[in-house]
Amino acid sequence: MKKMKKIFALLIAMVMVLGMSTSVFAATIDVDGAIKDETYNAYKILEYTSEGDAYSYYLLDADYKGALGTALKAAGFEFTQSADKTQWYVSNSDDLSEKGADIAKSLYESLDDWKAVALSSATATGSAEGKASFTDLETGYWFVTSSMGSLCTLQSYDDQEMVVEKNSMITDDKVVDENSKNAQVGDVLHYTITLTDGKGTNLAATLTDTLSKGLTYNADAKASINGADATDITGTVTQNADGSTKVVYTFDAATMTALEEGQKIVVTYTATVNDDASIDGTVSNTEYTEYSEQQTNGKTVETDLTDLTVNKTDGTDALKGAQFKLYRTDEALKLNHVDVKLRQLTDEELTAAGVTKADATVYYTVDPEGTNLIDMAQKEDDEYLYSSAVVYGLDKDSTYYLEETKAPEGYNLLEEEKVVNLGSTTSIDVVNNAGSVLPSTGGIGTTMFYIVGSVLVIGAAVVLISKRRMAR
């Protein structure tokens, strides 16, 4: 019988690798490393008796002939009936010690409701301190499961057993493409979310991703599972009351069970920056993963937008009445001087966004449906209104160009564009010179005066020569 005890101890250790523990003389079972709010169930699967150094494990006749006996026999246990035909004793301990993994798997998967067939049962919940305990248990062999997954181990401490939680939570991460960390309204941002599988995960997992209202989800998500495309996985999209968008992806239990520890699920998708993002200056994207009773801390990634202030002056005083066209270098498209299309913001929009209007300033946001005109030549009662303009929703990684198409009255039109790098400035003064148009801007300048003077000199010379001839 001593040999039987040793064999069962070895069997227990092997069985726990797949999610069950069995204990001898288990007045108490402690779960070390228990995960907060997870459920731990203990099920008694064999009776235990001892006489001196002799130990026996058995089922009563009714249990042997019921669902419990069927499950144990299917897992590989063999029994011999007692002489009085009231009990069935385990008879193949030697063979069972060599089949621990197969037995464990069979027991773990054989019954959906172990509580209904077990000799007795107990439940414990993981604490914030990482503990869970079953106390005052009957002696016997106990099968212990965790709601986190299928992995546990067993260590023996005299008359007390300790199950160590070996299951671990999925981890996740999220990144936005390097070129998408700064953006302009209308730009397409590229996101990647990576889930890394933990130990023993065999339940469904959900990934929730929330896009702020300044992002329009393009419904083009793709997923790969351990490197293989998973075209049948789609997200459920919900529009929230605050304008944000929630997308939920579900990975079923079969998918999670098939993954091994460290293997990955990768979800990629794109979103377009819309004009709700322009004044706020930031769009955000937050994900988290849920599994069993656990939720990851998740990760938020942000993309920044910036603004540009254009001040029209003569070098000292503000000037009203200019017009500009705004262009951008689009590195993604490998194009220079792409129109930056704009829409003038209303007073109501500015107030809603908490913007206090500055004097003589007109406000714009990037809008793909607009035009690239910055118009400071708007009038009221025949008076020009604006000497400054603010444009929201620009990308500080881009180079912008201002082309003056109308100068303030009485001032020269600029011949050259103004180049603006928003990585180094968000405000630019555009200076116009007063007076006649200079040669450098295409005007005739003093040339006409030289021509007229030359004509007069030549005419005077002709008159003088004619008079001298007449005097002869």
What CATH number did the domain enclosing 183 receive?
2.60.40.740
Could you tell me if residue 440 is inside a domain?
no
What pLDDT shows up at residue 322? 97
233: confidence class by pLDDT, cuts 50, 70, 90? confident
**CA nearest 143: which of 58, 50, 6, 26?**
26
Domain boundary among the residues 145, 165, 185 is at 165
Asked if the structure places residue 364 within a domain, the reply is yes
Strands 28-32 vs 160-165: parallel, antiparallel or unpaired:
parallel
User: Contact, 141 vs 24, CB < 8 A?
Assistant: yes
DSSP conformational letter for 413: P
Average pLDDT of the segment spanning 76-103: 83
Q: Report pLDDT for 162.
A: 79
Model pLDDT for residues 47-60, shown as the tens digit of each residue: 888 777 667 889 99
Classify the phi-psi angles of 166: left when phi > 0, otherwise alpha if psi is within -120 to 50, otherwise beta: alpha
Question: Do 93 and 238 sit in the same domain of this protein?
Answer: no
Task: Say whether both 263 and 319 belong to one domain.
Answer: no
Helix H or strand E encompassing 460 = helix 447-471
Q: Is residue 441 part of a domain?
A: no
Phi and psi (nearest 5°) for 310?
A: -110, 120
85 Cβ contact list (under 8 Å, min separation 6): 61
* pLDDT of 16 over the 80 cut: no
Question: Residue 220 domain-assigned?
Answer: yes
* In-domain check, residue 104: yes
- Verify that 293 and 314 share a domain, yes or no: no
Residue 61, classified by CB atoms within 10 Å of its CB into exposed (0-12), middle (13-18) or buried (19+), is middle
**Longest distance between any two alpha carbons in the chain, whole Å:** 170
Mean pLDDT of 370-388: 96
**Measured distance CA(269)–CA(233) in Å, rounded:** 13
Domain boundary among 256, 276, 304: 304
Encode pLDDT of 128-178 as tens digits.
Answer: 999 999 998 888 888 888 899 877 654 444 467 778 888 899 999 999 988
pLDDT-wise least confident of 88-92, 202-206, 334-338: 334-338
Residues 139, 34 share a domain: yes
My answer on whether 7 and 129 are in the same domain is yes
Residue with tokens 């069985």, as numbered in its chain:
15
pLDDT for 333 beyond 80:
no
Q: Which of 304, 330, 353 corresponds to the end of one domain? A: 304
Helix then strand then coil, % of the chain, to nearest 5: 20, 40, 40
Q: Is the pLDDT assigned to residue 321 strictly greater than 70?
A: yes
Q: Are residues 204 and 292 in the same domain?
A: yes
Q: Is residue 244 part of a domain?
A: yes
Residue pLDDT, tens place only, 416-448: 999 999 887 889 999 998 865 444 444 444 545
Q: Pinpoint the alpha helices (H) of 225-367.
A: 253-258, 347-352
Q: Which of 287, 201, 279 is nearest to 244 (CA)?
A: 287
Residues forming a β-bridge with 249: 207
Residues 16 and 111 in one domain: yes
Q: Which domain CATH number covers 361?
A: 2.60.40.10
CA distance 430 to 442: 19
Question: What's the pLDDT at 230?
Answer: 83
Average the pLDDT over 27-39 and give the result.
91
* Residue 27 belongs to domain spanning: 2-165
For residue 239, list its beta bridge partners: 245
Which alpha helices (H) appear in 53-196, and where do they start and end?
61-64, 67-75, 93-96, 100-110, 114-117
Q: What percent of the chain has pLDDT over 70?
A: 81
Give the chain's domain count.
4
420 and 470 in a single domain? The answer is: no
Query: Could you tell me the pLDDT band of residue 107, with boundaries at 50, 70 and 90?
Result: confident
In this structure, the answer to whether residues 149 and 180 fall within a common structural domain is: no
For residues 213 and 333, membership in a common domain is answered with no
**310 lies in the same domain as 299:** no
Tokens encoding 61 = 């006749």
pLDDT of 24 = 53
- Number of neighbouring beta carbons within 10 Å of residue 207: 26
In a domain, 61, yes or no: yes
Is-contact 367 341, C-beta < 8 A? yes
**How many CB atoms within 10 Å of residue 449?**
10
Judge contact between 174 and 65, C-beta under 8 A. Answer: no
Q: Nearest to residue 422, comparing CAs of 345, 291, 328, 312?
A: 328
Q: In this structure, are strands 87-90 and 54-60 parallel, antiparallel, or unpaired?
A: antiparallel
Segment holding 323, helix H or strand E:
strand 323-330
End-to-end alpha carbon distance in the chain? 160
Domain assignment present for residue 108? The answer is yes
Nearest to 278 by CA among 373, 191, 186: 186
CA distance 471 to 469: 5
Question: Are 205 and 221 in the same domain?
Answer: yes
